[in-house]
Structure 1
Amino acid sequence: MSNSVENLYRLDGRVPLGKALPFGLQHVLAMFVSNITPIMILAAAVGLDSAISAALIQNCMVIAGIGTLVQLFPVWRVGSRLPIVMGISFTFLSLAISIAGAYGMGTLIGAVIVGGLVEGTLGLFVKYWIKLIPHVVSATVVTAIGFSLLPIGANSFAGGQGATDFGSMSNWIVGSVTLLACLLCQVFAKGFLRSLSVLVGLVVGYVLSCFMGMVDFGGLSGQSIIALPRILPFTPEFNVGAILSVVAVYLVSATETIGDTSALCNSALKRDPATREMGSAICCDGFVSSVSGLFGCTPITSFSQNVGLAAISGVVNRFTIGVGAVVMIIGGVFPVIGAALTTIPQAVLGGCTIMMFGSILFAGFGMMARAGFSQRNMVIVSLSLSMGLGFTQATGMFAIFPEIVRTVFAENCVAVVFLLAVVLNLVLPKKVQGEM
């Protein structure tokens, strides 16, 4: 194996652009729809006009590329130097719709900017509070992230939640063929091709969906060749209540970033993350989210599906994933590229991602094994997961609580699991009765 190919599986080392491009593109395709969907939903919910909506979609691609580059190639202490892909977070969506609907987009953007500064500052002082998150807590959070992603993959496999053909035979066929192509490539291919199993599956599924008439190319017509990102499309306004609500959700986002960083290091790099790496990842999460606000977008965060992709492919080279980040930025500057990527059917993405999400679960199980299966750890893991996953699936479970509690916890199992795991770790005696 040549050095350039071996470097794909190392953090550092130069990979020829021709080899780096398909692997970088694989990361973009894995997260592209999830990156633009929160902005599309927000724009529709608050009634933004089509021109502003289109500009925000461009901006979220640019900011995802910038955030990923900062994670890969840090600026001061902002950025972990790990192969983490950043994108617009779903975690903030319901709160963003609520704030923008009640107070306007300016108030939402002001809260995003201030909240990002708070999270970024927390990242700078991570060594003072990271002891609250020992290995068993990280393992529990990573497992919760894996579980939380499974319905997303399943919904995509069936055609996308709310689609008129949801669960149709055509979606089952395309999703199954895509998944089978990924699986066969992962099991039987060797070397370079095996690491591209997700991209191979995506190409196979996309070609099949074209033959089945499931691809709509109508959005490609009328696209301008080039359009520069629009900075400050909304004038920031600052409302204390909105800021406090958004800051609370930023803490959840920091939790997810810690979990993703732990999962990435344990699954793809075969080691535990350093305290500095987790703090720097959180810094990027926060400070770049403030920049996202300047672009009129909601906060960004680490993307768990790309952690799963790194675990499956083994490709962790920073330059290679940086090529993918540049593709995202180019997609934001050249609207026709972004429009072309949106033609990928949801069933194809579901077929590609379902196994990737499962790999995050596997990483969580591995972390639990390393933490040990003591009686104390069993209580922390089992109670946190059962309540976190169970309570957030029961509609109306949090109805008696104030709105800010419902916003943070009602539909976010990762937040509930994290809070319970931290509290149980603090209050349970170090040796539970019955342990040797």
Structure 2
Amino acid sequence: MSNKSNSSVSNIYQLEGRVPVSRAIPFGLQHILAMFVANISPIIIVAGASGVSGKQLAMLIQSAMLIAGIGTLIQLFPLWKIGSGLPIVMGISFTFVSIMCYIGANYGYGTIMGAVLIGGLIEGCLGLFAKYWMKIISPIVSASVVTAIGFSLLSVGSTSFGGGSGSENFGSVENWILGTITLLCCILFNIFAKSYWKQLSVLFGLVVGYLVAIPMGLVDFSSLAGTSVIALPHLMPFKMEFHLNAIISVALIFLVSATETIGDTQALANSGLNRSATTKEISGSLACDGFISSLSSLFGCMPITSFSQNVGLVAMTKVVNRFTIATGALIMILAGIFPIFGAVLATLPDAVLGGCTIMMFGTIVVSGLQMIGKCGYSQRNITIVALSLSIGIGFTQVPELFSVFPKIIETVFAENCVAVVFLVAVILNLILPQNMETFEETKAES
């Protein structure tokens, strides 16, 4: 009996294998709490810029949770060639926010949905044929992208720690106290907890932080008033419209999102499974991103992509069991069917989330550095990493540098360091000599 119990516990660190539901649910819930606020924030921002009403917004949040849950299940348990079979959690990406705010304000929310439908189909098809173009993305390119993803998320965690973007009391003493308490709880629980319980440090920090926030008056329960207990999502809540310039713009952002998905998939396989992701896994991951995003548009929702936050959680806990992560996907689906459930989760203060995610995002940076180490520190690799990161991260810290380019280029690259790092790394990987050391020696001799 003891051996069976030990086996079920160790299965949480294995991709396959059954884990008792009572043990799987806390780990699944931990993944959902880690991404919940970040999942609904983009749609709140875009809906506001597009003039979507409060009642319609509640419906869109409901759809976001439902589709994210379905997408996660398909990533875990692929349908045909769609899905990676890896513990990837899906959610709405901030990558699309800027361009969609512009489209929504100028053309309306229906145009956004039309562009997402087409853009998702394009990415999905690219994913299915990934084996024909994945050769240009060498391990050092993937390592550079993963490192960039980690660095790009550090400001996200810090913003949450301060109270969230646009918060009236951003950086207040209360938020500092709440974020610090949450972070300390995560660290102390990880130090003193025994066995697999250590991997629930994020959930522990979230729960303690939430309970502390209530008497501090930092939890807003007003949003629960009038929330339906159960409601079914609406199909085609907005009439789709198709504008060529909107479709082209969103399709380009889908390509940028695809680079993040490739990095997320590589980072997850490397940090969670101690190996590189296969072409089949990357292909399935991209196909799922694209086709699920097209499905998402049919429910009035923004694109659904792999969530880097949860990659950081896997890197930190090493919990990769598909059944365990699937319980989190089912929780998201329940949140989509029972709006009251999602409304309660939405009351989680940003400072609490920030306290938990600071370490998670730093772990992604470390995973990227480990991947670079495995590639080796040849002159060629150092050049690719150094230039791609310095240009990608450095230039996007000064977005005015891109003002000389056409508006679409500025929109895609000015504030997206992952896209710039990917582009620079791919170009350098294609043009630099395979053995720069030999090349330099030959040049010197001549």
Matched, 1:3 2:7: yes
C-alpha separation in 2, matches of 1:139 and 1:290: 29
Q: CA deviation at 1:397?
A: 1.5
SS in 1 for 2:305: strand
Instruction: Tell me which residue corresponds to 1:211.
Output: 215
C-alpha separation in 2, matches of 1:97 and 1:285: 21
Mean alpha-carbon deviation: is it higher for 13-22 or for 282-291? 13-22
SS in 2 for 1:268: helix
C-alpha separation in 1, matches of 2:108 and 2:216: 42
C-alpha separation in 1, matches of 2:52 and 2:244: 24
C-alpha separation in 2, matches of 1:161 and 1:254: 25
C-alpha separation in 1, matches of 2:194 and 2:371: 28
C-alpha separation in 1, matches of 2:194 and 2:267: 25
Q: 1:160 aligns with which of 150, 157, 164?
A: 164
AA paired with 1:124?
Answer: L
2:51·2:105 contact (CA, 8 Å) conserved in 1?
no
AA paired with 2:206?
Answer: L
C-alpha separation in 1, matches of 2:425 and 2:105: 34
Instruction: Tell me which residue corresponds to 1:309.
Output: 313
Instruction: Tell me which residue corresponds to 2:396.
Output: 392
Instruction: Tell me which residue corresponds to 2:430.
Output: 426
C-alpha separation in 2, matches of 1:238 and 1:144: 33
Q: 2:185 aligns with which of 181, 187, 190?
A: 181
TM-score normalised by length of structure 2: 0.96
Matched, 1:48 2:48: no
Instruction: Tell me which residue corresponds to 2:333.
Output: 329
Q: CA deviation at 1:433?
A: 4.6
TM-score normalised by length of structure 1: 0.98
2:25·2:324 contact (CA, 8 Å) conserved in 1?
yes
Instruction: Tell me which residue corresponds to 1:320.
Output: 324
SS in 1 for 2:403: coil
Q: 2:19 aligns with which of 6, 15, 20?
A: 15
2:30·2:202 contact (CA, 8 Å) conserved in 1?
yes
Q: CA deviation at 1:92?
A: 0.7
- Residue-pair matches, total: 436
Q: CA deviation at 1:192?
A: 2.2
Instruction: Tell me which residue corresponds to 1:78.
Output: 82
Q: CA deviation at 1:241?
A: 1.5
Q: 1:224 aligns with which of 195, 216, 228?
A: 228
Q: 1:151 aligns with which of 152, 155, 160?
A: 155
Instruction: Tell me which residue corresponds to 1:38.
Output: 42
SS in 2 for 1:236: coil
C-alpha separation in 2, matches of 1:206 and 1:191: 25
Unaligned runs of 5+ in 1: none
AA paired with 1:225?
Answer: V
SS in 2 for 1:68: helix
2:103·2:112 contact (CA, 8 Å) conserved in 1?
yes
C-alpha separation in 2, matches of 1:103 and 1:47: 11
Q: 1:278 aligns with which of 278, 282, 300?
A: 282
Could you give the per-residue CA deviations for residues 351-407 of structure 1, whole angstroms, max 9, x where no partner exists?
Answer: 000000000000000000001111111111111101100111113111111111011
Matched, 1:371 2:384: no
AA paired with 1:201?
Answer: G
Q: CA deviation at 1:188?
A: 2.7
Instruction: Tell me which residue corresponds to 2:73.
Output: 69
AA paired with 1:93?
Answer: V
C-alpha separation in 2, matches of 1:223 and 1:97: 26
Instruction: Tell me which residue corresponds to 1:199.
Output: 203
2:76·2:88 contact (CA, 8 Å) conserved in 1?
yes
Q: Residues 342-357 of structure 1: matches in 2 within 5 Å?
A: 342-357=346-361
C-alpha separation in 1, matches of 2:23 and 2:252: 42
Q: 2:406 aligns with which of 399, 402, 409?
A: 402
C-alpha separation in 2, matches of 1:360 and 1:312: 9
Q: 1:121 aligns with which of 106, 122, 125?
A: 125
AA paired with 1:66?
Answer: I
1:96·1:298 contact (CA, 8 Å) conserved in 2?
no
Q: CA deviation at 1:6?
A: 1.4
2:269·2:276 contact (CA, 8 Å) conserved in 1?
yes
SS in 1 for 2:23: helix
Q: CA deviation at 1:211?
A: 2.4
Could you give the per-residue CA deviations for residues 67-90 of structure 1, whole angstroms, max 9, x where no partner exists?
Answer: 101100111100000000000111
Could you give the per-residue CA deviations for residues 153-196 of structure 1, whole angstroms, max 9, x where no partner exists?
Answer: 00101111221111111111111111111111222322121010
AA paired with 1:322?
Answer: A
AA paired with 1:141?
Answer: V
Instruction: Tell me which residue corresponds to 1:413.
Output: 417
SS in 2 for 1:87: strand
Matched, 1:341 2:315: no
Matched, 1:110 2:95: no
Q: What percentage of residue pairs aligned between the two structures are identical?
A: 60
Q: CA deviation at 1:245?
A: 1.1
1:398·1:406 contact (CA, 8 Å) conserved in 2?
yes
Q: CA deviation at 1:104?
A: 1.7
Matched, 1:99 2:103: yes
AA paired with 1:352?
Answer: C
Q: CA deviation at 1:25?
A: 0.3
Unaligned runs of 5+ in 2: 442-446
Q: CA deviation at 1:227?
A: 0.8
AA paired with 2:131?
Answer: K
Bigger share in helix: 2
Could you give the per-residue CA deviations for residues 283-311 of structure 1, whole angstroms, max 9, x where no partner exists?
Answer: 00101010011111111111111011111
Q: CA deviation at 1:50?
A: 1.0
SS in 2 for 1:207: helix
